[in-house]
Structures are given as C-alpha cells and as structure tokens.
Amino acid sequence: MPCPKCKSTFCYEDENQWICPECAFEWIPNSVIENLTPTEFVVKDAHGNVLKDGDSVSVIKDLKVKGASSSVKVGTKVKNIRLQDSSDGHNIGCKIDGFGQMNLKSEFVKKI
C-alpha cells in the first residue's frame, strides 16, 4: 500500500496501522486522509508569546557566536524575523547588525 502523504511504496504494516519509513507518516488504512496539508508549527518566545514572520524580538541572554570574537548581547533588537521549521531548535532566521545572517533559538528571545 503506497503512502498517502509522499506516495512511497516502501510502507510496512505494524499491528493495525501502516508506517512510511521515508516520511514517518502513520495511518490506519480505513481512514486514509485525502488532502493532506502541511502541519503548521507554532513558535513561542521565552515568555510564551506566539511569534509570527516579520515580528521584532529582543535577545534575553548573551549568546556566543561560533567563529566570532564577540557575542550577541542582552537587549539586542532583531527586526523582521523569519520562522523556520528546524530539527536543531534554531527556529528563527534573522539578520543581526554586526553579525549578519544567523539562526536563533526562540527560547532566548522575547517579543517586542
């Protein structure tokens, strides 16, 4: 049975459900979802406020930057953030004056 999400043919049955090893989608054959939409992820700052693309945030902790001699200081304001789904936890893409393009973890910022 092909995967309803990615159409892979390498799916296997585990008890009463099917599992796709390529996209990790699991389903019960009788309830195949016709129109799958990508799941939206929610990114929250250190205080639990929901962040959106284009928001401005402030850094709440000194952050060491690999390859740089200085760090991003507490209170640094970052404008126009981009949210990204990242497996390593760096879910904010941004540009910081003096450092350039970088990725931040949302747990170290607060919404302005």
Q: How many CA atoms lie within 13 A of 31 on its CB side?
A: 5
- For residue range 53-111, what is the model confidence (pLDDT) as tens digits? 999 999 999 999 988 889 999 999 999 999 998 878 899 999 998 899 999 999 999 99
Instruction: Residue 64: count other Cβ atoms within 10 Å of its Cβ.
Output: 8
Helix (H, G, I), strand (E, B) or coil at 31: helix
Beta-bridge partner residues of 32: none
- For residue range 1-52, what is the model confidence (pLDDT) as tens digits? 788 889 899 999 887 788 999 998 888 876 544 444 455 678 899 998 999 9
How much is the pLDDT for 101? Answer: 93
- The closest alpha carbon to 58, from 24, 5, 108, 99, belongs to 108
Q: What are residue 93's phi and psi, to 5 degrees?
A: -100, 135
How much is the pLDDT for 67? Answer: 85
